[in-house]
Amino acid sequence: MELNEYLYFLRRAFDGMIGALEELGDELANTVPPLAGANSPFAVAYHCTGVADYWIGHIIAGRPVDRDRASEFTAVGTVTDLKSAVDPLFDRLRDDLRGVDAQAAPRNVPPASFEGPDRPLSCAGVQLHVLEELAQHHGQVQITRDVLLNGAVR
């Protein structure tokens, strides 16, 4: 998997989420829609920073990552906060993935509680999982933006 091309698609997902948050503004971006089990768009986008950092940084590269997955879903912040976290994240991801053998086993195995794929993955498989999660959550943020902009708030 070509590194710059892969990171391009991850960045498109993040940029799309950030764009949706900008449309909402900080208050609505932190609003949970009135749907069972829903999260605010900010929390979902913030969760994605945790997904990418953990799965690529820790699982593939073996870098220590201090992650509290449960708190990601209740995170509150500004669009500026999220934007300022994404650039350094991409610097770390680029370093983590530089020279990785896509077919090799990752350095760490994720805990079963992290709800990842239910089979062992190569480094390429982990990268695909991150792309899968970011694409899924990008769509979730867009739909939640539409719900919130149409006045369906708690």
pLDDT-based confidence at residue 151 (cuts at 50, 70, 90): confident
Tell me the per-residue pLDDT of 106-116, one tens digit each, with 9 for 90 and over: 999 988 777 67
Rounded to the nearest 10°, the torsion over CA 97, 103, 105, 107 is -10
- What is the rounded distance in angstroms from the CA atom of residue 64 to the CA atom of residue 49? 15
d(CA 30, CA 40): 5
pLDDT at 115: 67
The pLDDT of residue 154 is above 70: no
Q: Model confidence over 69-111: pLDDT tens digits?
A: 999 999 999 999 999 999 999 999 999 999 999 999 999 998 8
The CA distance from 45 to 76, in Å, is: 11
d(CA 131, CA 61): 17
Average pLDDT of span 104-130: 89
Q: How many CA within 13 A on the CB side of residue 32?
A: 11
